[in-house]
Amino acid sequence: MHIQNAVVLITGANRGVGLAFAREALKRGAHKVYAGARDPDSVTLPGVEALRLDVTRPDQVAAAAARLRDVTLVINNAGIARVGSMLKDDAIEALRAHLETNALGTLRIAQAFAPVLARNGGGALLNVLSVLAWVSSPMLGTYAASKSAAWSLTNALRIELKAQQTQVLALHMGFVDTDLTRDFALPKVSPESVVARAFDALEAGHEEVLADDITRQVRQGLTAEPAIYLGERRQARD
């Protein structure tokens, strides 16, 4: 999948990693970039076409797929992250909210745009995941659970979309220097470095990309004894 001349849809494109994806897509010569956001007025990047797109709203997703018939690359970036204990009274509601956006929203977009990608030769689907798909933390448990679900459904989509020659890329990352992580005094990588690695991997035909050192360390630790996911991981979140 080449970014040059691609028609790109990015969800959650008004800030953070989504905004960095939009900038890099333009830099690499994308033919058109659709920037989805709950509030399209919050999209201020010159050169993109803003659209109202809340991934938790089936009507908005369906309308976008019906309108954007030229898309060849879908970047599932929209997501939420809330801090809170799994044992608090509101944990179930927090998990429901995380799943609705981070997992079901990802799947909703993939289902709607799979036929669009197929008509345009297959294209690619890039799902923004997290190192917390593999490890967790008491205050990020519901977020981690939603990213685990998103990782699993990404793997299933890869298998199902292979028949229509759609490349599916899973992007895993730890802390990224965005508004979302402003209050976390931990080492962070830049959105630009994450996006550059993701696009390089996409253009190389890869199916998974580990965007930073923390993510690569955690991945190696999955087969350690004891496995890294059996303990708390405090330094990993997107």
**pLDDT band of 175, cuts 50, 70, 90:** confident
> Which residue is catalytic, options 143, 151, 175, 199?
143
Domains and CATH numbers, the chain: 7-230 (3.40.50.720)
Tokens 């190389």 — which residue?
A: 204
For residue 88, the number of C-alpha atoms closer than 13 Å in the C-beta half-sphere is 14
143 is catalytic: yes
According to DSSP, residue 138 is labeled G
- Angle subtended by helix axes 16-27 and 191-203, to nearest 10: 50
What 3-state DSSP class applies to 180? helix
Look at residues 184, 173, 186, 169 and name the one whose alpha carbon lies nearest to residue 213.
173
- Angle subtended by helix axes 105-119 and 141-161, to nearest 10: 20
Predicted local confidence at residue 237, as pLDDT: 36
Predicted local confidence at residue 137, as pLDDT: 85
Candidate from 130-144, 157-171, 174-188 with smallest mean pLDDT: 174-188
For residue 74, give the H/E element and its range: strand 73-76
Mean per-residue pLDDT, 165-181: 84
Enter the pTM of the model: 0.93
Q: Rounded to an integer, what distance in angstroms lies between the CA atom of residue 72 and that of residue 10?
A: 11
For residue 168, give the H/E element and its range: strand 167-172
Please give the single-letter amino acid code of residue 167: Q
